[in-house]
A and B are shown apart, each in its own frame.
Chain A
Amino acid sequence: MRRILLLSLILLFAVAAVADDRAICAVCGPREGAGFEDVKATAMYKGKQYFFCSLKCKVEFLKNPEEFLVTDAGKPAPAFALKTFDGKNVSLADYRGKVVLLDFWATFCAPCVAALPELQALHTKYGKDGFAIVGLTVDDRAALVQKATSRAKVTYPILKSTSDVWNAYKVNALPSMILVGRDGKIIKRYGGEADKAAMIAEIEQALR
């Protein structure tokens, strides 16, 4: 009897831990990578299938798919000024003259969390050449953000983002990364699970 009670308690804690990792849909839109959230709707566009975390997001996508699939290379990266989880002010202007990779992520996005150690490695490797990574999350659960970033030994700033900034960058899928050149203009947008070799080549190209 005691054993059954103990097993039930362990099971209950396990379920609670999984539930804690789930979050309400903060970002909706087509996903190329594997998402953590349940897929609630799908749509076909130009022979490709897109997945959404709500029916409303599907409607917004179908109204103007091209707006979602925008390429904005060459356009100035929208300015932002945000705070880190420990209250430090960080703005995009601080990185003028550097090549910056903006990583839009959330703790409930499994591929985003899995990419953190690799991003940190890039930040360390190319930092001396004028490269930096800035993480932006809409996840306000500081404990989960802290847990994910300390596990990956992240040293680059993680900013508490607002939906305004995500909207300005037209982020509608996770993972989403945007490479910004030394001149402050967008070089490339990476959606879903990015081709890492191609991304490194583009970072090196931008640093030349």
Chain B
Amino acid sequence: MTFLFVLLLTVATPEECISRGNVAVEHAGKTYRLASEECRQQFLEDPERYAQLYDALLELEALGVKPKPRQASLVPS
């Protein structure tokens, strides 16, 4: 239970992942620079979705909109 709780709080958000870090991942001829290996693994689980998500986040950033990372919920669903 404690392990799950800690895991929930340490999962990187997409906003944290797309921080132009040192970990690269390629998808559909495009290279994404991610914050960590954990982010890369997350991306590889569903590349089509994450590529669209990161493209949209980068587009928001280019427009000057700073997306806020979601707060970890402490309420069990």
Count of CB-CB pairs between chains A and B under 8 Å? 31
Residue A82 is within 8 A (CB to CB) of chain B in the complex: no
B65 at the interface (CB under 8 A from A): yes
Residues in A neighbouring B63, C-beta threshold 8 A: 55
Tell me whether B48 is interfacial, beta carbon within 8 Å: yes
Do the beta carbons of A62 and B53 come within 8 Å of each other?
Answer: yes
Q: Bound state CA distance, A43 and B49, in angstroms?
A: 8
Partner of A55, one of B14, B50, B56: B56
Find chain B residues with CB under 8 A from A125 CB. Answer: none
B10 at the interface (CB under 8 A from A): no
For chain B, the count of residues having a C-beta within 8 Å of the partner chain is 14
Q: Is the CB of A62 within 8 A of B49?
A: yes
The verdict on A63 contacting chain B, using a C-beta distance below 8 Å, is yes
Report the Cα distance A4→B59, complex, angstroms. 45
Instruction: Digitize B43-77: 1 where CB-to-A-CB distance is under 8 Å, 0 elsewhere.
Output: 00000111011001101100101010010000000
- Listed by A's residue number, 26 A-B pairs whose Cβ atoms lie within 8 Å are A41-B56, A43-B52, A43-B56, A44-B48, A44-B52, A45-B49, A55-B56, A55-B60, A55-B63, A55-B65, A56-B60, A56-B65, A56-B67, A58-B56, A59-B53, A59-B56, A59-B57, A59-B67, A62-B49, A62-B50, A62-B52, A62-B53, A62-B56, A63-B14, A63-B70, A65-B49
Q: Chain B: residues with CB nearer than 8 A to chain A?
A: 14, 48-50, 52-53, 56-57, 59-60, 63, 65, 67, 70
Residues of A within 8 A of B (CB): 41, 43-45, 55-56, 58-59, 62-63, 65
